[in-house]
Amino acid sequence: MAKIDFEKLRFVVADDNAHMRRIVRTLLRAFGSREIYEVEDGAAALEAVEHFMPDILITDIKMPIFDGIELTQMIRNPDGSKHPYIPIIMLTAYSERKRVLMARDAGATEFLCKPVSANALYKRVQNVIENPRPFIKVSTYFGPDRRRNTDPNYSGEERRETDPEAFVVGDTISI
């Protein structure tokens, strides 16, 4: 496990709660980050991602204009977004299973529950850097592979069939 050089990472933190943005900013600065752009709604977050081209987006799930789910879906549109591969860490107090699944299905890379701890935030950032998942493109989804663990020896009924038309392009698997 390599030490992360936070000085080289650029973040956008999107949350409508100024106090929460301050907490996340303080933690990222303590880790060594110097480029942190803060926004208070989904529309400003979309603009910040397009303009600043951050390495990581940390967004709340519930915000005005566009919520975190809508924001993630817009960013994950490879035809309409300049930065569809950006790691997205969904930060929220809404941790019910359905919300986690909604975030995952929208294309969030990681999910982090409030109240946020330094250790939990560091681990999520570390995971998106050290263990990047390939991107999947199918007719109904574009984003990081939703499977966390893949066992090549798995042969159960939920095993995906190998599609002869599936291919890997850079970080993306297209089917």
Residues 91-141 have pLDDT tens digits of 999 888 999 999 999 999 999 999 999 999 999 999 999 999 899 888 888
This prediction's pTM:
0.85
Burial letters for 80-117: b for 16+ Cβ neighbours within 10 Å, e otherwise?
A: ebeebbbbbbbbbebeeeebbebbbebbbbbbbebebe
Q: Give me the domains of the chain, ranges plus CATH numbers.
A: 8-133 (3.40.50.2300)
For 13-59, the pLDDT digits (tens) are 999 999 999 999 999 999 999 999 999 999 999 999 999 999 999 99
Residue 162 and residue 74: Cα distance in Å, rounded? 29
Closest CA to 4 of 89, 87, 126, 154: 126
Average model confidence (pLDDT) for the chain? 87
- pLDDT tier at 167, thresholds 50, 70, 90: very low
Instruction: Give the CA distances from residue 45 to residues 27, 64, 148, 151, 159, in Å, rounded to whole numbers and listed in that order.
Output: 19, 11, 27, 36, 37
DSSP states of the chain: -PPP-GGG-EEEEE-S-HHHHHHHHHHHHHHT--EEEEESSHHHHHHHHHHH--SEEEEESS-SSS-HHHHHHHHT-TTT-S-TT--EEEEES---HHHHHHHHHHT-SEEEESSP-HHHHHHHHHHHHHSPPPEEEETTEEEE-S-S---TT--STTPPPPPTT-EEETTEEE-
